[in-house]
Amino acid sequence: MSRDANAPAAAGRPEPSDRDTGLPGLRSWRSVYVAVLGVFVVWIGLLTWLTNHYTP
Amino acid sequence: MNTLDYLVLLGVLLGIAAYGAWCTRGHRDLRSYVHGAKNTHWLTIGLSVMATQASAVTFLSTPGQGYESGLGFVQNYFGAPLALIVIAIVFLPIYRRLNVYTAYEYLGKRFDSKTRLLGAGLFLIQRGLGAGITIYAPAIVLSTVMGWRLDATIICSGLLVIGYTVSGGSAAVNLTQKYQIGVIFVGMIAAFFVLLTKLPADLRFGDALTVAGGFHKLEAVDFSLNPDRRYTVWTGLLGGMFLALSYFGTDQSQVQRYLTGASLRESRLGLMFNALFKIPMQFFILLLGVLVFVLYQFDRPPVFFNQTAWHRQVEQDSSGKLRALENDFNRAHDDKERDLKSWITARHAGNIAGAESAHDAALAANTRAEAARNETKTFLKTADPHVGANDSDYVFITFILGYLPHGLIGLLVAAFFAATFSSKAGELNALGSTTTVDIYRHIIKRDADDAHYVFASKCFTAMWGFAAIGFALFANLVENLIQATNIIGSIFYGVVLGLFLIAFFLKRIGGTAAFCAAVAAQALVFALYSTLNISYLWYNVIGCAACMLFGIILQLFLPRHTTLVEIPNAH
């Protein structure tokens, strides 16, 4: 084994590219999560419209 | 299927498997075998997570679900985006920073060895029992429709998955899943466009949706608080979130997929990809089934979609009952088709009264057709208990064989097998890794070199694969087994999630309290399951809540716990 997996050696070590999302317009993770939630809400809205519009 | 279809089928499946095995051969250390080279791009992770969850049953059965019940099933996935965000914020940074091989290794770091073994054991039991179904369920449908031998279908598909999963480990699984999900998407989108061309020429897309809506197939959301309703927004958000938290957050077959990321960023984006596309994907597959329903309103479908079983019983039915039921169904369908055409014509002409009258007549004819269909199902089930009364699994494959051109049929059948392989490979990979890391290396042989552990991991992966094939070969009650597998998953998932939530959020609770709480909660779930008659989905919530509550109470009577490892802050 290259490393004892039972030792928490890697605990607390920051990983590279952790904070930067690399997404244009969505620089922080908070904004990514808000965008995902926003898309989710839009989907619920569209599905609700579909349900109401086509229910006889 | 003709020669072209078989060439496409074999070319796609063998090509992807051989490419995956060749590109990922020669792993010598356990970490790269279990987690790949840790250089996986977020899109590959996202597709891999999606491919692991979406088995062939998803692509065979979900259109049938749309055909029978409409879009309402999509609500089951409403909790998934929320759960994936929680996992990206809380679970993932901890797994990555502690650099664990398996999710259960984290339990060992946070609590103690016995709690780790308990978590790993619960995973191995429920995932190991369910492994055979992943191969069996699509094999029974495809072999029945195609006339293939069931045992040969199971063995051939099982051996192919075992071959490249054992050979290339996690990297091979990720790589092949990327291409397999690509084949699935291409096949499903092609089927969608062919379906649109097969609708009547004078039926616009809006008319098709109107017809579907007229039979309540487009009721995608239900805000009702009625507990008797199986799919509502609320059960989807609450029950779906619990299910998704346990599945994506604690099931090693998923954890192993996103831990292969080159960085925390790649893993997170892979999860967010699924948070974005899970609902649209399920919606699209259900819509495909709804449009197949519309197509069959204008082109008479079989009275029972499992035609092999139907023809077998017709030959044995001396009373002529099945033929009589088929005639009833055909007459009702022809009436319905005529009324639907009148309905659409009246709508186009702005004749509201005429449209309502024709719609009512179509609904009445549909009721007669459904009555004949249901009576046929009951008759078939009585005559042969092994014939599943639910033929919705056969709806989509019947459409494919009846309407798609040759070549595309081969691609779609390849897509179903690709879906089987992708989810099976993810499961086998996780079962082999967990057995090696959490059982073999942790208990049996602690100080061997990496080559030994890689070899052991390959052996365990193959062992689980052969066990799955054996289970699939001896399974013969498909409906009961699928239900049994879902029940088994729900019985264990809640307690495992409870253990992880204690580990993440209740830092004062130690290993002994968590272990005893999990055992007690599991016993409680078993006891409730044997005495109560509630939906098995509730056991996810009960097991989780009981585990956490018991942990809090037990810790009051046990020595104060000090966390062994620093739990990193989530960003």
Assign A6 a pLDDT band (cuts: 50, 70, 90).
very low
* Secondary-structure percent of chain A, ordered helix, strand, coil, rounded to 5: 45, 5, 50
pLDDT for the residue numbered A17: 53
Q: Which of B435, B497, B560, B56 is nearest to B242 (CA)?
A: B497
For residues B206 and B58, is the Cβ–Cβ distance under 8 A? no
Q: Which of B178, B186, B174, B164 is nearest to B14 (CA)?
A: B164
The total number of residues written for chain A in this structure: 56
Q: Which of B89, B41, B249 is nearest to A30 (CA)?
A: B89
What would the pLDDT profile of B10-55 be if each residue is shown by its tens digit?
888 888 888 877 777 766 677 777 766 667 788 989 988 988 888 7
Q: Which of B448, B106, B500 is nearest to B440 (CA)?
A: B448
Residues of A in contact with B96 (CB under 8 A): 15
Q: At what angle do helices B352-383 and B321-348 cross, to 10 degrees?
A: 160
Q: What is the distance in angstroms between the Cα of B19 and the nearest Cα belonging to chain A?
A: 28
pLDDT for the residue numbered B262: 83
Q: What is the distance in angstroms between the Cα of B329 and the nearest Cα belonging to chain A?
A: 25
pLDDT for the residue numbered B241: 87
Assign A9 a pLDDT band (cuts: 50, 70, 90).
very low
Residues of B in contact with A12 (CB under 8 A): 97, 566, 568
> Smallest Cβ distance to A40: which of B81, B218, B264?
B81
Per the CB < 8 Å rule, is A11 touching B568?
Answer: yes
Which residue shows structure tokens 């004749």?
B351
What percentage of chain A has pLDDT greater than the value 70?
68
Per the CB < 8 Å rule, is B272 touching A32?
Answer: yes
pLDDT for the residue numbered B486: 66
pLDDT for the residue numbered B9: 85
Cβ neighbours of residue B37 closer than 8 Å, sequence gap 6 or more: B171
Radius of gyration of chain A (CA): 21
Q: What is the DSSP secondary-structure string of B121-136?
A: HHHHHHHHHHHHHHHH
Is pLDDT of A35 > 70?
Answer: yes
pLDDT for the residue numbered B132: 78
Please report, as a single letter, which amino acid is at residue B147.
G
φ, ψ at B261 (rounded to 5°): -65, 150
What would the pLDDT profile of A17-30 be if each residue is shown by its tens digit?
567 888 888 889 99
Is pLDDT of A3 > 50?
Answer: no
Q: Which of B193, B134, B120 is nearest to B418 (CA)?
A: B134
What is the separation of C-alpha B175 from the centre of its chain, rounded to a whole number of angstroms?
Answer: 20
For chain B, helix (H) and strand (E) counts, in that order, are 22, 0
For residues B552 and B531, is the Cβ–Cβ distance under 8 A? no
Structure tokens given for B155: 């063995």
pLDDT for the residue numbered B569: 45
Per the CB < 8 Å rule, is A1 touching B100?
Answer: no
φ, ψ at A18 (rounded to 5°): -75, -50
Dihedral angle computed from the Cα positions of residues B513, B515, B516 and B522, in that order, rounded to the nearest 10 degrees? 140
Per the CB < 8 Å rule, is B221 touching A47?
Answer: yes
Q: Which of B432, B531, B543 is nearest to B492 (CA)?
A: B543
Structure tokens given for A52: 């109401």
Between residues B261 and A8, the one the model is more confident about: B261
pLDDT for the residue numbered B82: 95
Dihedral angle computed from the Cα positions of residues B275, B278, B279 and B282, in that order, rounded to the nearest 10 degrees? -170
Per the CB < 8 Å rule, is B82 touching A40?
Answer: yes
Residues 8-27 of A with CB under 8 A from B: 8-13, 15-23
Contact status of A52 with chain B (Cβ, < 8 Å): no
Burial of B560 per CB tally in 10 Å (0-12, 13-18, 19+): exposed
Structure tokens given for B157: 């598909």
The residue of A26, A41, A46, A47 whose CB has the most chain B CBs within 10 angstroms, and thus the best one to mutate to test that interface, is A47
Assign A8 a pLDDT band (cuts: 50, 70, 90).
very low
Per the CB < 8 Å rule, is B218 touching A5?
Answer: no
Residues of chain B with pLDDT under 70: 26-28, 35-38, 227, 386-389, 475-486, 535, 537, 560-571
Q: Quick check: helix, strand or coil at residue B261?
A: strand
For residues B519 and B472, is the Cβ–Cβ distance under 8 A? no
Q: What is the DSSP secondary-structure string of B373-384?
A: HHHHHHHHHHH-
pLDDT for the residue numbered B36: 66
φ, ψ at A21 (rounded to 5°): -80, -25
Quote the CA–CA distance of B75 and B78 in Å, as a whole number.
5
Q: Which of B287, B257, B289, B290 is nearest to B274 (CA)?
A: B257
pLDDT for the residue numbered B140: 75
pLDDT for the residue numbered A5: 36
Q: Quick check: helix, strand or coil at residue A26?
A: strand
Q: Above 0.90 for ipTM, yes or no?
A: no
